[in-house]
Amino acid sequence: MSRPIRFLAAAAASLLLATACNSASTSASPQDKAGASARGVTADSITVGGIVSKTSSSGYSKADTDLGAKARFQRANDEGGVNGRKIDYLGAEDDGQDPSRNLAAARKLVQQDKVFSVVPMSSVTFSGADFLQQQKVPVFGWGTLPAFCGPATTYGFNGCLVPSPGGTITQSWPESLAQALGGAKDRSVALIAADSDAGKFGIRTYTQGFTAAGFKVTYAKASVPAAAAPSDWSAYTGEILKSNGGKAPNAVVSVMQTPQNIGLFTALKRAGFHGALSDPTDYDPGLLAKATTAQALDGVYVLVQFEPFESTSPAIAQFLKDVRKVGGADVRPNLHMMTGYLSADLFLAIAKKTGRDLTTATFQKAADSFSDTGSPAGERSFPKGHTQGFGCGSLVRLKGGTYEVAVPFKCYPAIPFT
């Protein structure tokens, strides 16, 4: 065995030596000339591409994000492009919610497809974040992941939505729910989340948020099994309905996913709860198509982080026009379309501000002092958006099979997160 080991040692030494010489001479990435890159930018086009979980083992799909982005870019091109450049949108890579595929997709977009920017990025995992940040690639997506908080080149279309201690908490949900209930004074609320670290974190932030808005929080637990929705909710409903000094609270707020919400709300209603129900995830017109979900969600206040489709504002009318042009007249707008659309919209807005001289550096510079109003995402502003959400939202309520705007879209001041 000594011979192979000697051979290996020799090979290893020589290889490492070669690596050392080579990496010493090429340690700076080739595309980094003076920190600025115009990769993907030609005289008349800007290449962009997205990463979206179109498929996943859980069966959950965000495929329509792609359509939303396409619709927004299409309009931009129809209007003559950005500063004379058309957007060459390559479509979105499917990462299958798999971290390794997410990273591979990020690398492919930058190294092979040579995109200027990754728009939209929408997945539950973002392991390509560090790579994209290193390569100074501007990324636009939904800021629900920590990677959208902090890095200067990563932009959430409505800011960073993962508060960190010492930062701030957005108040759109507590404040708008307070409005819906006619004020938070003397109102009690029960908060429930999944039994996981993320659930615990959600309970912590929203307890503070709802308390700050004037609610009395009577129940706040991350106790629902996270892996699969329970078939029986009596254990949770029983506790919640007695939490307000033996009585039911005025509102139950769920920080969980749709299947859990449906189970919980159905159980609460069957147990005779007549107060307000609210959650942040169930704004999906697809849910109305099914009797079970429509019934479970009837009367529920759903937080929407952008202007709801039911709104009559010109921005929404434009959105509907854009997606119908690309997706067909009978396309049903949904959350994912909007996230894709708004990601593309933010990119276009910053690119426009950058002007004709478009490199990652000039883009970054333009972004650092960017702010505007009037988009369906509310009052956008960077660098604020790197550390906090824009704090805008509305509540819609499902009534008789359609969503109605219960509290119109508005931006609220944030509170410090302790």
Partner 1 sequence: MGDLLGFVLSGLVSGALYALLATGLVLSYSASGLFNFAHGATAYLCALGYYELHSGFGWPAVPAALLLVVVVAPATGWALDRAMFRKLAKAGETAQIVATIGLLVALPAAGLWAVELLRDAGVSVQPAENQFGLPGVGPSPARSWQLMDGVGVDSDQLITWITTAVVALGLWVLLRHTTLGLRLRAAVDNRSLTELRGISADRLSSIAWMLSSALAGLAGVLATPLLGLSAHDYTLFLFVSATAAVLGRFASVPLAFAGGLALGVLQNLAAGYASFADRITGFRTAVPFFLLFAGLLLMARRQRAAGTAAADVTTPDYLAGASWARRWGPWAAAAALLALAFYTVTTPFWSGLLTQGLAISLVFVSFTLVTGLGAMVSLAQATFVTGAALVAGLLMSHGWPFVAAAAVGTCVAAVLGALVALPALRLGGRSLALATLALAFLADQVLFQLGRLRNGDAGWSVPRPVLGPVDLADDRAMGVALIVLLSAVVAALSALRGSATGRAILAVRSAPAAAMASGISVVRTKLVLFALSAGLAGFGGVMYASYNTRITATDFTALTGLVWLAVVVAAGLRRPQFAVVAGLVFAIVPHLFQTYVTDSAHLPVILFGLAGLALANDPDGYCAAVSVRLRRRRAEGAARIERTTADLPSPTPRRPLAAAPATSRPPALELRGVHAGYDGASVLHGVDLTVRPGEILALLGPNGAGKSTVCRVAAGILQPAHGTVLTHGRDGTREGPVRRSRDGVLLAPEGRGIFPALTIEENLTLYLPGRTARGQVYERFPQLAARRGVLAGSLSGGEQQMLALAPLLQRPPKVLIADEPSLGLAPRVVDEVFAVLTELRAAGTALLLVEEKAAEVLGLADTVAYLSSGRVSWCGPRAEVETDRLTEAYLGIAAPAGTGPGGRTDVDVDGEVAGRDR
Q: Per-residue string for binding with partner 1, 118-137, x by CB under 8 A?
A: ------xx-x-xxx--x---
Angstrom distance (rounded) from CA 161 to CA 142: 8
The footprint of partner 1 on residues 231-290 (CB under 8 A) is 231-232, 234-235, 238, 258-259, 262, 270-271, 286-287, 290
Residue from 34, 43, 291, 329 binding partner 1 (CB under 8 A):
291
Q: Which is nearer to partner 1, 81 or 151 (CB)?
A: 151
Residue from 292, 371, 373, 402 binding partner 1 (CB under 8 A):
292
Q: Which is nearer to partner 1, 213 or 268 (CB)?
A: 268
Angstrom distance (rounded) from CA 415 to CA 21: 53
Residues in CB range of 90: below 8 A, 6 or more apart: 47, 48, 49, 50, 109, 113, 115
- From the list 66-74, 92-100, 242-250, 351-359, the region that binds partner 1 by CB under 8 A is 92-100
Can you tell me which residue has the tokens 């769920």?
254
Burial 119-151 (b: 16+ CB within 10 A, else e): bbbbbebbbbbebbbebbbbbbbbbbbebbbeb
Half-sphere exposure in the Cβ direction for 212 (13 Å, CA):
22
- From the list 71-79, 106-114, 343-351, 353-361, the region that binds partner 1 by CB under 8 A is 106-114
Residue 8 interacts with partner 1 (CB under 8 A): yes or no: yes
Residues in CB range of 266: below 8 A, 6 or more apart: 233, 295, 296
Residue 22 interacts with partner 1 (CB under 8 A): yes or no: yes
What is the smallest separation between the CB atom of 279 and partner 1, expressed in angstroms?
12
The footprint of partner 1 on residues 294-333 (CB under 8 A) is 294-296
Residue 42 interacts with partner 1 (CB under 8 A): yes or no: no
The footprint of partner 1 on residues 141-170 (CB under 8 A) is 145-147, 162
Q: Where are the alpha helices (DSSP H) in 185-290?
A: 197-212, 234-241, 258-270, 285-288
Q: Which is nearer to partner 1, 222 or 392 (CB)?
A: 222
Find, among 282, 260, 257, 277, the residue nearest to 191 by Cα.
277
Q: Which is nearer to partner 1, 235 or 317 (CB)?
A: 235
Residue from 32, 33, 44, 60 binding partner 1 (CB under 8 A):
60
Residue 222 interacts with partner 1 (CB under 8 A): yes or no: yes
Residue 197 interacts with partner 1 (CB under 8 A): yes or no: yes
Name the burial class of residue 318, with classes exposed (0-12), middle (13-18) and buried (19+) by CB atoms within 10 angstroms of its CB. middle
**Ramachandran region, residue 166 (left: φ > 0; alpha: ψ -120 to 50; beta: rest):** left
Q: Which is nearer to partner 1, 80 or 286 (CB)?
A: 286
Q: Which is nearer to partner 1, 18 or 317 (CB)?
A: 18
Q: Which is nearer to partner 1, 32 or 357 (CB)?
A: 32
Query: Which three-class secondary structure state does DSSP give residue 332?
Result: coil
**What amino acid is encoded at 103 in this protein?**
L
